[in-house]
Amino acid sequence: MVDAFVKTYKYEGVRGLYKGFVPGVFGVSHGALQFMAYEEMKAKYNRYRNLPIDAKLTTLEYLGFASLSKLFAAVTTYPYQVLRARMQDQHAHYDNLRHCIKETWRQNGVRGYYKGLLPNLLRVVPATALTFVVYEHTSHFLLSLRKPEEPQQEDKN
């Protein structure tokens, strides 16, 4: 890592260290979109079933909602990841993000912003779905350990 840092700085200067930074900043929206979609789907599903929004679901339901939320977030934010990767590619030269966007469009059209999406989805969707299922089951297990007669204490500061 240090070697890469030194070489990047030596050959590209400080600008080289920040290639792809702008699309990377936009990329943090991925997690926000994923969690928002996941929680909204669970809540609407439970409202549809006339249950409290935090009612426990089946493992299959958690898997479905987690997969759909990951799919939504990935399709929405994938162009950012492509642009960031292109900006960081040492074999390609882009003057700035705008130039990268124009060249990607010129060379491949809309498809250029989604190159590699399918293999990426095949890798991340199952892992995300399993992560959410483990989280949900662990969360419900830990909540079940609480004693019902034990009221939650409020912070009085």
Per-residue pLDDT of the chain in tens (157 residues, 90 and over written 9): 899 889 988 988 888 888 767 666 777 788 999 999 999 999 999 999 999 998 999 999 999 999 999 999 999 999 988 988 888 887 888 888 899 999 999 999 999 999 999 999 999 999 999 999 999 999 999 988 886 655 556 555 5
Question: Tell me, what's the pLDDT at 146?
Answer: 84
3-class DSSP state for residue 43? helix
Q: Are 80 and 27 in contact (CB under 8 A)?
A: yes
Question: Tell me, what's the pLDDT at 156?
Answer: 56
Q: Are 41 and 68 in contact (CB under 8 A)?
A: yes
